[in-house]
A = this chain, B = another copy of it.
């Protein structure tokens, strides 16, 4: 009985490790695509810089604080990358019309042009791939991912309650 129970636990553990490996492989593939897209916009652009430009392209001029929230970064990291992007001629800083003491980060025309051509050529990797799938499989994937997102462990619940 005890052996059967531990064999079952081991199978469970292996299955979970396999899911972790698939997520890791997915992360690596996405990083490779983003690295290639960043290089297509500018040879010295990092993936983080590319993500910042993409935010500006979707939603126009932004305060650095907003960019920090959107990119889950601290303000120091944002201010360093903005300086670097300025150096590459990809962004400029303009006065914020709604707050005299603040500045907004804005895409340059050069950045907008390169970004538009890269984005037009490259839909989300996920979207391109799933467009080849049967809809039933897409629904199955959605339901399982939603279940991962909703399964909150007891320990996490404690952390949430502490907030």
Interface residue from B47, B74, B127 paired with A20 (Cβ < 8 Å): B127
* A contact residues, total (Cβ < 8 Å): 55
Q: Does A66 contact B (CB under 8 A)?
A: no
Contact present for B26 and A47 (CB under 8 Å): no
- Chain B residues in 8 Å Cβ range of A122: 155
Q: Which of A11-19, A85-93, A107-115 contacts B (4 or more CB under 8 A)?
A: A11-19
Proximity string of chain A (20-61) to chain B, C-beta cutoff 8 Å, 1 when within and 0 when not: 101101100101010110000000001110000000000000
Contact present for B130 and A148 (CB under 8 Å): yes
4 shortest A-B CB distances, which residue pairs? Answer: A22-B145, A129-B151, A15-B138, A128-B153
Q: Show the binding face of A for B, using Cβ within 8 Å.
A: 8, 11-12, 15-16, 18-20, 22-23, 25-26, 29, 31, 33, 35-36, 46-48, 72-74, 77, 80, 122, 124-133, 135, 137-142, 144-149, 151-153, 155-156, 159
